[in-house]
Amino acid sequence: MYEDKTLVCKDCGEEFVFTAGEQEFYAEKGFEHEPQRCRNCRAARKGASRAPREMFTAVCAGCGGEARVPFQPREDRPVYCSECFAKMREE
């Protein structure tokens, strides 16, 4: 029913493919218009609207190294670096 279409990005001017699967998804969701931007430009536009996260530094409760986290650490709760946190999730 649907066939891949080649569209031109209105931001960068590059061609991109609007696949049959994407067209079906758009139809299921009730979207009436085709995308006007390629995947990279959509991602850049989406990311530009977000404010950068404030990061806090703490001492990792697992290895004692530096942990950078997106929340204000509290004294009564342990904070882990990315590596130690990943190890804990595996267990």
Give 21-71 pLDDT, tens digit per residue.
Answer: 999 999 999 999 999 999 999 999 887 777 778 999 999 999 999 999 999
pLDDT at 83: 92
DSSP state of 75: T
Q: Would the pTM of this model clear 0.95, i.e. be above it?
A: no
DSSP state of 69: E
Backbone angles phi, psi at 89, to 5 degrees: -70, -30
